[in-house]
Structure formats: C-alpha cells, structure tokens
Amino acid sequence: MPDQDTLQDLVGREHAATGSDYSAGFVTDIEADTLPPGLDESVVRAISTKKEEPAWMTEWRLDAFRRWQEMHAPRWAHVRFPDIDFQAISYFSAPKGDAPKSLDEVDPELLRTYEKLGIPLHERARLAGVREEDMPEVAVDAVFDSVSVATTFKDRLADAGVVFCSMSEAIREHPELVRKYLGSVVPKPDNFYAALNSAVFSDGSFVYVPKHTRCPMELSTYFRINAENTGQFERTLIIADEGAYVSYLEGCTAPMRDENQLHAAVVELVALDDAEIKYSTVQNWYPGDDEGNGGIYNFVTKRGACLGERSKISWTQVETGSAITWKYPSVVLRGADSVGEFYSVALTRNFQQADTGTKMTHIGPRTKSTIISKGISAGRSQNSYRGRVRMNPGAKGARNYTQCDSLLIGEQCGAHTFPYIESKLPSAMVEHEATTSKVSDEQLFLCQQRGIDPEKAVSMIVNGFCRDVFRTLPMEFAVEAAKLLEVSLEGAVG
Amino acid sequence: MAGSTPDEAAVARRLLQTGPNDYAPWFDRNACTAVIADQGLPAIRSEAWKYTNVGRWYETVLEATRPVHRETVVESPEEVDVRDFSDTRAADLFGPQATFDLTRYPLAAVNGLLLGAGLAIRVPAGCQASQTVRISHLPSAYQHCLVSVEAGAAVELVEEPSPYTHRIVEAVVHEGAVLRHRRRQAGASTRECSLVAVNVATGGRYELSQLSLGADLRRNDILVTLAGDGAETALQSAWRVDGRAHLDNQVAVEHTLPGGTSRQTYRGVAAGRARAVLNGRIHIAPGAQHSDATLSTKNLLADATAEVYAKPELTIFANDVKCSHGATVGAMDEDAVHYFRSRGIDEDRARGLFVRGFLREAIDDLAVAETLGVVV
C-alpha cells in the first residue's frame, strides 16, 4: 500500500511497547543541539542568531520578551496546575547538523521517526504509488522540536505560486510579507503565552496563497516534541490573498515523559477579500499517564482575521491529547459579510483538563459566525467550553449561532460551559444553546440487545454526538478522527 | 472611571480601622472582619466584576450620608414571628453565622461590619401564613433579613422598592416548606448591591419573582442552594433598563444533593445608554445525580447605544443529569411590529405590546410590573 498520511498513521494506532494506548509516545535517540534551560535576553538573542535572523526580527523578539516580563500568567481558566518554572525550560532544541539541503540529507533516524508516525516525507514514495490518482495529495511541513526538518511538494506548490515553507525560511525569503503580517492578528502583548512565543518561537509554518489561487492540495504541518525539558514554541502564519483558498491540517505528538512539557504556539490567519482558510487540527499531544503524571501543557493562541469582504475562516479541531489544554481559536470578523466558523470536539479522560472554545468578534456589517462545540468528559477529567461572542457597534445585521453540548461518561468527571455574550447593537442577533447529557442506559441497552458490545456502543454514540463536527473535516481525516476517538475511549466505559 | 474611584484596598483599610458598629452585638462580625482582612475586597475589573464598576459602589460606601428611611416599615401576619436584630431573642432564632460562604460574597462582609438594620423572620412549622410579609423600609443603608420557613410552612415575602447601599436576604426553606419571594426594584439614582442567599431542604420550594428597573448601579447576587432530594426552585426575573441605568444580575443555582429541580427564566429590555448584565450559573456538585436544571435568558436591545452582556454558565460534576441553557440577544421582530401596524395599531403602541409580550414570560404579576414601569 502506498504511503499515505492519514490521521490513523499520524496517531499510530498500534500499541507501543509500554502497553500504553498512547502509541506515539516513543523517544527518538537523536543528537540534538539544545540550549541550556533558562530564559533571559541572551537566550532570545541566541535563538535569533541560531536562526540567522535579520536585526529587525531580533528586535521584534526582544520587544516581545520585555513585554512578557511585565505580564502575569492567566488564572481565569477552569484548570489547575502548579506554577510553571520558566527558567527550568530549554527554549531551543534542534536535531544536530547543518540544515539539510534536500530530503536525502535528512538524518535517517529522523526520517525513521516520521515513518514510525506514518508521515511520508519522501515525495518519491507517493509519486511511485500505485493508486496515486485515488489519493488526495498533502504537502507536509515537519517540525521536530524547534526546527522545521522538511517541507514536501514545494515545487508543485511553487508552480501554483503558493509559498509553503518554514517560518525561518519565510523570514529570509519573504521578509516583506512576514513584517507586514507577523503579529498583526495576535499582537506581541496579546496574552502571557503569546508574548512568550513571540520572544522565543523557534519555527513553524508559513503559507501564502496568492490572489485568485486555489491551493492545489491540502497543506499539513506535523509537530513533534522529542527532547527532554524543552518547550515547543512554534509560530504559524497563513495568508490567503484576495479570492484564494487553502485548507490546512495540523497534527502533533510527543514522547511519554513523567514531567510536564510546555507547548505555547501562536497561529495567525489572514483572509483578504473573498479568501477562505480552512484550518483543521488534530491535537494528540501526550496526555499524561492514567494517574495524571506528565503530559503536555498546551497553551495556544490561535486567531484568524477576516480582513476582507466576504472572506471566511473556519476552524475545526479534534482535541484528544494534552494534560492541560488552554486554547481558543478565534475569528475577528472585520470585513463586511465575512464568515467565521468554529467546530470542535474535545475529549478528556483520566486526569486531563481542557478549557477550550472560541472568540467571535463581529466588527463588520452582516458578519456571520457559527460555533458548534462537543465536549466529552470521561474518567476524572474536567472539560470546559469557554467562548465569547461580541457584537461591536459597527456589526449591523450580524448573526451568531452557538451550540455547545457536553457528554459525561462516568461519575467523577466534570463538564462546564462558560459562554460570554456581549452585544452592543440591536440589529445583531446572538443565539446560544447548551445541553449536558450522558450516554443513557437505554441507548446502551438497545445496542447490546442487537449484539453490540458496550465499548463499541459507546463509541458509536459518541461518534453520532460528534457528527456535526466530523463532517467539516476533510473526508479522509474525518474517518480517522472517529477512529482516534474510539481509541481514546477504550477503557473509559464501565 | 476606575481611576477616580477609591480602590478596594483603601476601602478595606478604612473598614478595618473603623471596625463593626454596635448594633445587634450578638451578630457575628468576626467572620466579616476576617474575610476583608484575609482576602480583601473585589478589585475593579476582577472577573466577578467584569461588567460593573465596583469602585463606584465603594464610593457610595465611603460617602457619609445616604438616603435611607428613619423607621422600619414592615407588615406581617400575627402567626409569623418578626423581630428586629436589636431584640436579643432574634439570636435564638438563628445562629450568629451566615448560612452561605462569606468568602464568595465579600460585599456581604462589608454589610456585616456596617449593619444598621436587621430583621429575623420565622414562619413556624406547618404554618400557612395568611398574609404576605411585606418589607417596605428599613432604617439603615446596610440591611439584613433572615428568614426561616420551618418544615411544612409556607409564606410570601415581598420586598418593596426602597433605597439601600447593601441588603442581604438570607433564607432557609426547611423540609417541605415553600417560600415565595417577590422583589420589586424601582428605578433609582443610587448605587445598590444586594445578596439573596437561600438554602432549600428536601421537598422544599423557593420561588423568586424579581422585577427591576436599573439604578445608577444595581447589582443583585442571588445564590440558591438545593440541598435535599426533591428540592425545587423557580427563578424568574424581568427587567427594563433605560437612560444610563446599570443592572447586573449574578445568579447561581447550586444542586448539592441528588434530585433537585431548578428553572430559571430571564427576560430583559435594554434601551437608551443602559447596560444589562446577566450571569446565570447552574452548578451540579459531585454526586448530585438526577438533577434537572434549565435556564433561559432572552434580551432585547432597543437602542444602538444600549449594551447587553449575558453569560449562562454550566458547571457539571455528575453524569446522570439533565441540564440546559439558552440565551439570545437581538432586536425587536420588525415583522411582528408590521403585523400590529397593519391592524391599525400605531408604532409606539405596537412596540409597547411587543415588549409586553416578550417580558410577560418572566412576569407573574402584570399589575405590579405596570405600576413599577417594567412594562408600559
């Protein structure tokens, strides 16, 4: 069977040697160039130097760092964890050696890691595929700890005028675009973790789709934290110029470690007139063990700006990993008639805590937003939806519809909803609905009567519960997202 | 503006320096002092005061004179025992400690230290009060009403519009008892905060019907704890805020034991430059299985300068429960107005009827709502 980066492969469903059901939890033994733990101006400068950045970028980072030093970590989320010692984290780790000029020069160990995860970095493999025409093509940018190791299909994309490269490369090759848009959607001092990211971000993906261009294939970034005691701070910037369309998928995993590791990313999306960006995330960072030890702290700022008229930004997220999730993919609807969407499935189990949702800020007239959030809590986990819909005075005739449903599995978990509705003009219409339910005994009984075992039955019911969100994922990922949920639900019943 | 209002630390310092007054010495102020000394007062722009500038209320606290009535004006039937806190026997009816968590409501601690008027109301077991207990005026800006509805008893309690700086209504609804609580809040140029804290035991029922016009600043904290199997509560509130009025309702219904039922219905109209806030929380504690809770809030924005902030919250820690909430904010349905007009009803009246019908869902006594001016 030809190589394909389906989600199934992304998350690797075969059980790892440890017997845990987190199969992506292996560590790759690779030589790394890692900065010692600690954070001060010299570390920020060192990162900038390592990445051979121009002076303006170094200054940009230093400004962010100075602002960060004056900020405090937010405490309003419905999550509990000990204070993070930011001096105990290493802010840069790169696989050793010079940057590879082509895939042939990439460290074979690294390639094996991606192969283990099912991420094909060899375009050759795909091109030799037997049923190539049946398969959707996906260009991949793979980020390993602090650096981007490879980006595939660059030539094909370049033919269409699409720029898809690592952020480091974009700073070198497309400084005018980076300077114009970096920090324009998520300003440096936006929040504590965004400021930290602005100071120390190491890599990430950059996408520019030119005017009236439909990106010829799905774009995908795959993030992997490997080194110990490091944080990952990637930065993604996607710009869809007038009339452009791009669909982007992001996946992530990390090894199983007893310590908590910090992931503080920033994603900025910019959609100009008539442009559309579809951003799908499958978040499968290591969630910690059954007792709640270890796992990733996923404190991420994601925001899109619908700057242009009739532009559209759609976020879809399937969140199953991370010990703690603090994440609110948002849309600022500035252009007239622009559209924002947020579809989310968040599943928590064991001791996971998630505080996730969205912010829809309506500024332009006749802007529309839709929020569909499905939270599933199991074990002793806590799962919160937190959202804000704001109708500013200029948003005449704007509309919002929000639905957030929670499903509880077991007696010791929690499901919470915190929607903020703020309206300043009469012609805007905001509607919000929320429900909480459980997998009922009747439903289970009905399934069991028909010979379906309880675990399978719960999985079916949960799948039905999430249907509204899965149908917004690119098709091949939707199927696999359902499978990922199934795997995550194993052992959650009974 | 936050800059020109006193900060919470200055107010706390002043209160602690002055210490409690000497009214009703049996009433325990140690807990109040401790709360203010240990945790301080809410900061301006803290999460609980996101949409209401608590600094403006602090300003009122620090002012020397406030409009209050000189006398207690309360009606009650004979069979209901009503005593002033200055009557030491009031202490026998209730313990000196609050039945709610003072650390959650630090303004109640301010009330405790400055308390100048208290009423203890007891409805004896089995007593079906023949008349309403009506609180018209109390002779202090800081007021506290303790209500105990004993097992199987029933009573209606009415709060008539009257100025205060802080009022607490603290009630215990015992097994199988019923408390019908009607609050009427007229428009006012004053800054008023209040706390209603009610505990409902097994088979008990608490009903709240609140009609409000805004004030320069009005904040109502309402906490209903369903602490028994089959305990029920129905809360409804209708408001109309206009001009520069500000109304902030912060409601929490907490199901702490299994089998409770709660219904919350809110309807509000905001016009002029007014601001209306509703935070409505349904909390299901671990183990409170078979809880059934709903909340519905609908808001009409009548003018482009008015603001509405709605936050219906759910915090659920038990799986076998039915909980839902719904919230809407929008304008008047112009099609409905057109329908009225096509039948010869003029525009003003059409809009008036529309608002009336909209608010009606949360009003159980239309005559009172009309007198107050909540519906016109």
8 Å CB contact of A418 and B310: no
Instruction: Give, in order, the Cα–Cα distances in Å from A20 to each of A23, A251, A323, B111.
Output: 7, 20, 15, 56
pLDDT above 90 coverage of chain A, percent: 47
pLDDT, residue A120, reads 55
Residue A423 contacts B, CB cutoff 8 Å = yes
Q: What percent of chain A has pLDDT over 70?
A: 81
pLDDT computed for residue B91 by the predictor: 80
Which of B265, B320, B311 lies closest to B292 in space, CA to CA? B320
Instruction: List, in order, residues 6 or more apart from B229 with CB less than 8 Å away.
Output: B202, B203, B257, B258, B259, B260
pLDDT surpasses 60 at A121? no
Is the CB of residue A290 less than 8 Å from the CB of residue A328? no
Q: How far apart are the first and last CA of chain A?
A: 37
User: Residue A302: pLDDT band by 50, 70, 90 thresholds?
Assistant: very high
pLDDT of amino acid A105: 59
Which of A191-205, A277-291, B40-54 shows the lowest mean pLDDT across its residues?
A277-291
Most confidently predicted of B12-16, B205-209, B301-305: B205-209
- Residue pair A54/A175 in contact (Cβ under 8 Å)? The answer is yes
From B306, B309, B315, residue closest to A422, measured CB to CB: B309
> What's the pLDDT score for residue A217?
85
Confidence of residue B147 (pLDDT cuts 50, 70, 90): very high
Listed ranges A3-7, A105-109, A152-156, A181-185; the one with the highest mean pLDDT: A181-185
Which two tokens mark B284?
């299901």
Q: Tell if the CB–CB gap between B316 and A415 is shorter than 8 Å.
A: yes
Residues near A23 by beta carbon (within 8 Å), at least 6 away in sequence: A11, A12, A13, A14, A15, A16
Q: Which residues pair with B207 in a beta bridge?
A: B180, B234
pLDDT band at A131 (very low <50, low <70, confident <90, very high): very low
- As a whole number, mean pLDDT of residues B40-52 equals 91
For position A135, what pLDDT does the model report?
47
Q: B159-177, pLDDT tens digit by residue?
A: 999 999 999 999 999 999 9
**Residue A122 scores a pLDDT above 60:** no
Q: Return the SS3 of B9.
A: helix
Give the pLDDT mean for A46-70.
93
A313: Cβ contacts below 8 Å, ≥ 6 apart: A269, A271, A276, A277, A279, A304, A305, A306, A331, A338, A339, A340, A341
Phi then psi for A216, rounded to 5 degrees? -70, -10
Do A434 and B304 lie within an 8 Å CB cutoff? no
Find out whether A192 and A69 touch, Cβ atoms under 8 Å.
no
Query: What pTM, to 2 d.p., does this model score?
Result: 0.87
Q: What are B86-120's pLDDT values in tens digits? A: 988 888 777 777 889 999 999 999 999 999 999 99
Where residue A258 falls among pLDDT bands split at 50, 70, 90?
Answer: confident
- Gap from B303 CA to chain A (nearest CA, Å): 6
* Model confidence band, residue A117 (pLDDT cutoffs 50, 70, 90): low
What does the pLDDT look like over A193-223, one tens digit per residue?
999 999 999 888 899 999 999 998 888 887 7
pLDDT > 50? residue A8 = no
Domain boundaries, chain B: 23-32+68-331, 334-376
Residue B268 CB-density burial (10 A; 0-12 exposed, 13-18 middle, 19+ buried): buried
Nearest alpha carbon to residue A233 among A261, A260, A200, A207: A200
Average pLDDT, rounded, for chain B: 92
Indicate the range of A187-196, A259-268, B73-82, B149-158 predicted with least confidence: A259-268
Mutate one of A369, A407, A430 to test the B interface: name it (highest B CB count within 10 A).
A430
> How far is Cα B117 from Cα A450, in angstroms, rounded to an integer?
68
More confident residue, B96 or A400: A400
Question: What one-letter code names the amino acid at A18?
Answer: T
B289, B308, B311 ranked by CB distance to A419: nearest: B311
Kindly state the tokens that stand for A309: 């008229």
Say which amino acid occupies A277. I
Under 8 Å between Cβ of A114 and A251: no
Query: Is A74's Cβ below 8 Å from some Cβ in B?
Result: no
Residue A319 is inside which H or E element, if any?
strand A312-319
CB-based contact B123:B149 (threshold 8 Å):
yes
Q: Which residues of chain A are within 8 Å of residue B329 when distances are taken between CB atoms?
A: 391, 421, 423, 428-430
Of B316, B322, B330, the CB nearest to A414: B316
Q: Which residue has the tokens 């790394």?
A: A32
Which chain B residues are closer than 8 Å to A436 by Cβ? 314, 316, 321-324
- Mean per-residue pLDDT for A80-90? 88
Task: Note the pLDDT of residue B117.
Answer: 93
- Helix B30-39 and helix B106-114, axial crossing angle in degrees, nearest 10: 130
* A204: region left, alpha or beta (phi > 0 left; psi from -120 to 50 alpha): left
User: Is A417 within 8 Å of B313 when comparing Cβ atoms?
Assistant: yes
Banded pLDDT at B281 (limits 50, 70, 90): very high
Tell me the chain A residues in contact with residue B319 when contact means C-beta distances shorter than 8 Å: 408-411, 413, 438
Helix and strand counts by DSSP (H, E) for chain B: 8, 18
pLDDT of residue B65: 67
Q: Which of A411, A421, A426 sits opposite B310 (nearest CB)?
A: A421
State the pLDDT confidence band at A132, using cuts at 50, 70 and 90. very low
Opening angle at CA B188, ends B186 and B192, nearest 5: 95
Determine what percent of chain A falls in helix, strand and coil, rounding each to the nearest 5.
25, 35, 40
Whether chain B has a CB inside 8 Å of the CB on A433: the answer is yes
Average pLDDT rounded to a whole number, residues A2-26: 45
pLDDT higher than threshold 60 for residue A253 = yes
Structure tokens at A229: 């005691």
Contact B329 A391 (CB under 8 A): yes
Cα torsion for A421, A388, B56, B245, to the nearest 10°? -20
Backbone angles phi, psi at A329, to 5 degrees: -60, 125
* pLDDT digit string, tens, across residues A379-390: 899 999 999 999
How high is the pLDDT of residue A126?
42
| Burial letters B217-252, b for 16+ CB under 10 A, else e | bbbbbbbbbbbbebbbbbbbbbbbbbeebbbbbbbb
Confidence of residue A106 (pLDDT cuts 50, 70, 90): low
* Mean predicted lDDT score pLDDT of chain A: 83
Q: Residue A286 — pLDDT band, cuts 50, 70, 90?
A: confident
**Does residue B73 have a pLDDT over 60?**
yes
The pLDDT score that the predictor gives to residue A109 is: 66
Residue environment code for A236-270, b if the CB has 16+ CB neighbours within 10 A, otherwise e: bbbbbbbbbbbbbbbbbbbbbbeebbbbbbbbbbb
pLDDT above 70 (res A331): yes
Contact yes or no for B236/B364 (Cβ under 8 A): yes
Q: Is the pLDDT of residue A76 over 90?
A: no
The residues, ordered by sequence, that sit 6+ positions from A436 with a Cβ below 8 Å of its Cβ are: A405, A406, A407, A408, A415, A417, B314, B316, B321, B322, B323, B324
Whether the pLDDT of residue A146 is over 90: the answer is: no
CA torsion A445→A448→A453→A455, rounded to 10°? -20
